[in-house]
Amino acid sequence: MANESGRHSARPPTEPDTDSASGAQHESLLRLANDLLAAADSHTAATAVLDAVLEMYQFPRGVLLGAPDARLPVLASYGLAEPTTPAGQGRSAAVMTALDQKETTVVRRLDASEEPWLAQLFPVGADLLIVPMSIPTPDGEDRRYGALLVQTPSPPEQGWRRIVIESLERVTAAAARALRTLWRMEHLERLAATDELTMIANRRTFNASLERELNRGARSGEPVSLVILDLDDFKTVNDIHGHPAGDEALRNVAAALSIACRDLDTAARYGGEEFAVILPDCGPDRCLDIAERLRHAVASAPAVRPLTASAGVASYPAHASDSESLVRAADDALLLSKRAGRDRTTLARKVSADERRLAVAQRLTAQGRLPADRRPSAGL
């Protein structure tokens, strides 16, 4: 059964041709089943669910909310803008009612004063169906994962609405199971890609990201820079204050670096107290300033005693020909910072123009994008 909220409309009900539509709906469900089986991630699956629902019933607008926890971010949407606040923060009484009562809720003539969050999504005065997305648990309780919200063209007659709601509830049940599986897979992938202590990228993810950015840089001609930072005298933190205090300091440093990074950068824990940051589209003219900003971010991280860091920074192709030589150049620059008294940043030495051309050519050749007979001589 459906729970109703809001005002009743005086508009005449729609008379959908369910016989002619049943074949198309069946095909849409089959496609959805295949799409859910083939989906590689939760975003793809959520988009497939919403597309199928809108196609089956020609709803003009819709949104799928959901997450494996209590939050309800927008997973997929059509015909509307993303709201500024998540529904899980109690911004929509109708959505939370549908989830709490575990039944579809009908909203008649959406009122912005009563549902300001929904009014960010759907036109004021619209009629909506809110279908909870949940999975029964062994103890008999439903585990809620989200909700499907769609705008109906006009208030349908009772019989047709019941058929539609039953169909949508079957779709959301299948969607919940598929999304739960994908969320679990994505969680495991995140664990494999992140450092357990600091929750930023681990060494393996760093290596893969650096190769990817260098390949992209070789194709586009854009430089890639690398910053390696080492916390100065960090051993004394563990020796004097204990490893729990040291672990907390490392977590705070990682958080500070993540905040200081640009959106396109990758921050990683490189070693015990070493961190690395990959800077795409950033050459020698800019990387030193960014490295200094990162170093100062480390100094601002909360710790049992003030922290400083030494940093080395290098750029491809100005200072290196590949990932190995880029890491080596940044590491050598870091060593110079240590030798010069710590708490500073050093830029790697420049390579010659011939060395730079050779570096780019070698990477393009390795990618199969430059014939071997056009490769510059290594003796240049």
CA angle 368, 373, 374 (to 5 degrees): 80
pLDDT tens sequence for the chain (380 residues): 555 554 333 333 344 454 555 666 667 677 777 777 878 888 898 888 998 888 888 899 999 998 877 678 888 988 886 666 555 554 688 888 888 888 898 888 999 889 988 888 899 999 999 999 888 666 666 777 889 999 987 665 666 678 888 888 888 888 888 989 898 998 888 888 999 999 999 999 999 999 999 999 999 999 999 999 999 999 999 999 999 999 999 999 999 999 999 999 999 999 999 999 999 999 999 999 999 999 999 999 999 999 999 999 999 999 999 999 999 999 999 999 999 999 999 999 875 666 556 656 665 665 565 565 555 554 43
Question: If residue 3 lies in a helix (H) or strand (E), which one and from where to where?
Answer: strand 3-6
For the structural domain made of 3-9+17-190, what CATH number should be given? 3.30.450.40
Q: How far apart are CA 198 and CA 192, in angstroms?
A: 13
Sequence letter at residue 24: A
The first and second tokens of residue 87, run together, are 């529904």
- Which DSSP category does 72 fall into? -
Q: Which residues pair with 66 in a beta bridge?
A: 146
Question: pTM for this one?
Answer: 0.61
Residue 260: what are its φ and ψ, rounded to 5°? -75, -20
Dihedral sign of CA atoms 273, 277, 283, 289 in order: negative
Residues with Cβ within 8 Å of residue 256, at least 6 apart in sequence? 297, 298, 300, 301
> CB of 334 within 8 A of CB of 275?
no
Domain spans in the chain, listed from the N-terminal domain onward: 3-9+17-190, 203-374
Residues with Cβ within 8 Å of residue 334, at least 6 apart in sequence? 228, 229, 230, 310, 311, 312, 346
For the structural domain made of 203-374, what CATH number should be given? 3.30.70.270
- Coil/strand/helix, residue 80: coil
